[in-house]
Chains A and B, each alone.
Chain A
Amino acid sequence: MAKKKKIKHFFDYSLLFTVIFITGFGLIVMYSASGYSAQTTMSDAMYFLKRQAIFAAAGIVVMLVVSRFDYHLCARFGLIFYLFSFGLQIVTAALGIASHGSARWLRVGGVSFQPSEFMKVAVIIQLSILITHNGYKMNEWKKMLTTAAWGVFPAILIAKTNLSTAMIIMGITFFMLWISCKRVAPFAAAGGLISVIYVFAYPFAKLLQKLNILQEYQLVRIFAWKDPSSYADETFQTLQGLYAIGSGGIFGKGLGESVQKFLMPEAQNDMIFTIICEELGLFGAVSIILVYAFIIYRLYDNTRNARDLFGSMLTIGIMCHVALQIILNIAVATNTIPNTGVTLPFISYGGTSLFILMAEMGLALSVSRQIRLET
């Protein structure tokens, strides 16, 4: 009798272990990429590895803890967290203005972190709450636009200092609304517009340059993107990244054998994918992409089977976040889009980013835990 009452709960172990696996793999690659620069600047080859390992360990613990909680708690604290993140963002911007620089970092009690990372999660949670709350009313123009505003405003605020994060927040907002609304046309139009900009950015910039409307140095990023070798100074890192990918070949030079990491200090950050390509070759790069694809597939599957709309929307947000970062990072590494600073999830060096991602994964696992299996 008791047996009958007990409901078997699903838990997405495959997602959990894939995440742990790729984080461990990330530490190895990160060590290979950062060892040299850590040795020369910090005189400790393990410097970055140690720091990242601490964050990874803490992240895994947080992921497991979060996965035990009921994700509906998010709904209760979502608005507070959103306002808190937004406030932090304003503080950072204000401090940035005060110090005459573009500030991305905030230091609290000796720990520095990027508040914009929190903003991503806050937007995901807040949009999920609103969409669930609105239900079918999302199809109304007014509801749709007011909901979108919750994502667009912080994106505009962040865009000034950190364009890439703003783009990701915009992307998350876009995809969450696209799935929650019945409409297709405005989204198709927006997608079309982005494609047009992507295709015509270079000719357009050329035209502006010819008309002398904008100075060359204002368009350098776009020129450098299409013609990297002519702007060798401006695109040093991009070009070196391409050399790294190209010189890796099919099977790479072998783990730890990268040559470009000596030229590209901070290779452990945004450009780490190029080092993976160089050391492990096309084979390694495809393998990593397949692992990412599996993570995305697991999140997609959980979305379809979530217990309720709120869980679905949360998982959609998280999936979009992870997918966007992966795609943008690899696109930058291969010079498919102009250079923006996006980290590669679970692999790039960066404590805040890794920690937040782990917490998000915990959330996704928490959603998966409430999926009931038919017995």
Chain B
Amino acid sequence: MRTSQSTDDNNKKRKMGKILSTYMQTKLAITFGVIMLALIALIVVIYQLVRNNSEEYNKIVLSQRQASYSSRTIPFRRGDIMDRNGTVLATSQKVYNLIIDPRVIHSGDGDRYVEPTVKALSEYFGYDESEIRALLSEKADKSYVKYAKDLSYDEKSGFEEYMKQQNSAYLKSGVKSRIRGIWFEDEYKRTYPYGSLACNVIGFANADGSNGTGGVEQYYNDTLVGVNGREYGYMDSDTKLQSVLKQPTDGETIVTTINTNIQLALEKYLNEWQTQDVGSKVAAAIVMDPNTGEVLAMGSTNQYDLNNPRALDESEYTDSRLMELGRKEAVGVYKREHPDDPPITEEEVGKYYSQDEILSYGKQVAWNQIWRNVVVSDTYEPGSTAKSITLAGALEERAITPNTEFNCEGYIELSDGVHTWRIRCHNHDGDGIIDAQTGLMRSCNVYLMNTAFALGGEKFVKYQHLFGFGEKTGIDLPAEADTSKLVYAPEKLGRTTLATNSFGQNYNVTMIQMAAAYCSIINGGSYYKPHVVKQILNSNGTVVENIKPEVTRITCSKSTSDFLREALYQTVEAGTGTKAKIQGYRVGGKTGTAEKIPRSAKNYLVSFVGFAPVEDPQLLVYVIVDTPNLEGEAQATASFAINIERKIMNDALQFMNIAPSSETDPANDLNAKFAKNQEGISNDPMGEQTTTASGETEEGDTESQSAEEVTETKPPVTDEYIDPADEEDGFELPDEVPDEEEVSDNN
């Protein structure tokens, strides 16, 4: 095969450009021309595309881009919250929302998507056709209409399968109709299986699970949340729609220190007190492990359903009450918004704010009231429970010894030059000459005042802070009250206030401070940071972090601790706290009866802190009852708190399997109680337990007490109370605390 012709032969031809014959030249030129023409034609096509469609396509491109961003997020799963034994207290379940895209449905020419789509929805889900049609025409320009919520996986996948079948049937039969513009959005629904249980510890999360309000849900929000995933589609080389899935990162699970059984018992007895007994403005309780600072249970009579946190009790929060709260709040809002203008009064609020605005302010106030965690956010004057702290300080500083004796004549007179205060003891007739233990047992104010004088103001304040008063405990819950301004600075602490401070008046504490301080007193002097979270697990259940008990400081020596433990035991055995006795266990504790501000209102806050077993304390239960629903001095009976405490303690001891030191009372046995109620643990806070009618017992006691008091023999005092028969009111306390301004929480 010769392909190369002799160059010599063709030289001439080539030179003349005649290697190709004429027709070839022509045809080649035509070919070249056709190619060029084709290219010019394509340029024209592109020019027309750009000229005619530039604006429209730009809009489409932008809207597509937005759609691809906003519509395909895969939500993360918020971590669970469990109790210390793995009982789930808060969890997130996957549900699906049905999204209608009216824009897409209307996009087909001749409305070829509308009919099939409406038909499919009504056929498969049984939705009302006319309603969907109305929605489609009303929101024709919208791309995202959430039509149904909380569909199950079966409903979602079933519909998707149905849609696919229908569409391929349409394609095969040659009809242009298609089902379009329906898709499902993943969502997680937060549920709280126990409803209101431990509401203050758990808190609640918002709808998309990105934020929490109150409790662990708020404090540990960063741990509980995860990162959203994403899904997007593209065409592969065979022009099939492929989707890429970027999985979300789920949140971590939190194991709290809460013991569900103890929490149930705590709430049951608080509710029992509130609804079947005398009741009070508020009552609250906390159960702690004194050896670790772990909170085993925490709660108050302020409870709300975590599954429905914004539901207000209509009997309590009537519209007029809400308006009243709203008007008050509006005044404050106006002041914040217009700091320079003169403040408005409640009557003027109507001029500046609409009815709806005032109502919504009222609701916010009401919600904050029901969501408020009394145990960590509310402050109050602790009363006599603080006496142990005064004694601990004095013993540590050797200002007194356990054998130091003071004579109580029923009162001490103090003068600051302007006023003269006669500060009384509970026992107006005086306790006589007593030592430290008896002083505590009888809750003698005079003994404690003398102790404080011996200790001196500066050291007294030092011990207040050492035991955590005026400091934040650092508990891992939100909105802990700042009490730094609610205790006296040493230079401002006069003799009178030192005197009243010694028995827990004229300064404010929170429950968690008091409970944590007592834990350190009875465990040998180690102040543990109170905490509600024990462990953090990742979404697979592997431990990510163990939260270890943390000793922040040493408050007192072992000998002081031993002495106080014994003295507190004697207080329950033969002092003001005898009602706290539980047969079979050695229980220690201290009563408290604080007169509230304003003193003239004669309202009281009674409390009791108890622990058991005395030889090796495993449990600490602290209960306060704020303003029992009684008049005047009748409120001032620590038994109200003791009764609640005893019941909680009794159940908690058994739940914790703490061995009794002697024979227990079969009537207290939980198993016996639950035998009646087959389910084992009662979820019903109103469980059918027989209540000891503490109100009546109280009266009986008080009477016998006052009768006996007349005698000089000074019998053991078995309750702390104020003698209503006395002509003088209360303790005659000065009507002030360091800073009267209420510390508002940041909820």
Contact = CB atoms under 8 A, between A and B. Distances in A.
B15 A245 contact: no
Nearest to A175: B31
B173 to A, nearest CB: 9
A265 to B, nearest CB: 4
A300 B28 contact: yes
B31 A320 contact: yes
Contacts of A242: 49, 53, 57
Contacts of A75: 1, 3-4
Interface hub of A250, A269, A308, A327 (most chain B Cβ within 10 A): A308
A246 B38 CA distance: 20
B677 to A, nearest CB: 58
Interface stretch (A25-33, A147-155, A157-165, A328-336): A328-336
A14 interface: no
A317 to B, nearest CB: 12
Interface in A142-188: 175, 178-180, 182
B397 to A, nearest CB: 66
Contacts of B237: 266, 269, 341
B43 interface: yes
Interface hub of B32, B109, B236 (most chain A Cβ within 10 A): B32
Interface hub of A40, A246, A277, A307 (most chain B Cβ within 10 A): A246
A292 B39 contact: yes
Contact of B28 (A236, A264, A304, A310): A304
Contacts of B52: 246
Given A129-B3, A230-B176, A312-B20, A327 B61 contact: no
Contacts of A264: 234-235
Contacts of B172: 215-217
B234 A312 contact: no
Instruction: Give chain A's interface secondary structure class.
Output: helix
Given A242-B53, A281-B50, A285-B46, A293 B3 contact: no
B50 A180 contact: no
A234 B178 CA distance: 13
Interface stretch (A15-23, A46-54, A255-263, A354-362): A255-263
Contact of B46 (A233, A245, A305, A372): A245
B7 A40 contact: no
A246 B53 CA distance: 5
A334 B61 contact: no
Nearest to B6: A308
Instruction: Give chain B's interface secondary structure class.
Output: helix
Contacts of A323: 35, 38
A307 B234 CA distance: 51
Nearest to B1: A133
B43 A289 contact: yes
A305 B13 CA distance: 10
Interface residues of B, number: 56
A41 interface: yes
A94 interface: no
Given A216-B171, A305-B17, A334 B1 contact: no
Contacts of B53: 242, 246
Interface in A180-235: 180, 182, 209, 212, 215-217, 229-230, 233-234
A304 B42 contact: no
A48 to B, nearest CB: 14
B43 A285 contact: yes
B36 A293 contact: yes
A310 B54 CA distance: 48
Nearest to B24: A179
A286 B43 contact: yes
A365 interface: no
Nearest to A277: B46
Contacts of B56: 246
Contact of A182 (B23, B38, B50): B23
B4 A72 contact: yes
B244 A300 contact: no
A334 B39 CA distance: 12
Contacts of B15: 374
A263 B49 CA distance: 20
Given A247-B58, A285-B43, 4 more contacts: A243-B57, A245-B49, A247-B61, A307-B14
20 contacts: A75-B1, A133-B2, A133-B3, A209-B174, A215-B174, A216-B172, A242-B49, A247-B54, A247-B60, A248-B54, A263-B65, A263-B234, A269-B237, A296-B35, A300-B32, A304-B17, A308-B3, A327-B38, A331-B42, A374-B15
Interface of A: 37, 40-41, 72, 75, 129, 132-133, 175, 178-180, 182, 209, 212, 215-217, 229-230, 233-234, 236-237, 242-250, 259-260, 262-266, 269, 277, 281-282, 285-286, 289, 292-293, 296-297, 300, 303-310, 312, 316, 319-320, 323, 326-327, 330-331, 334, 336, 339, 341, 372, 374
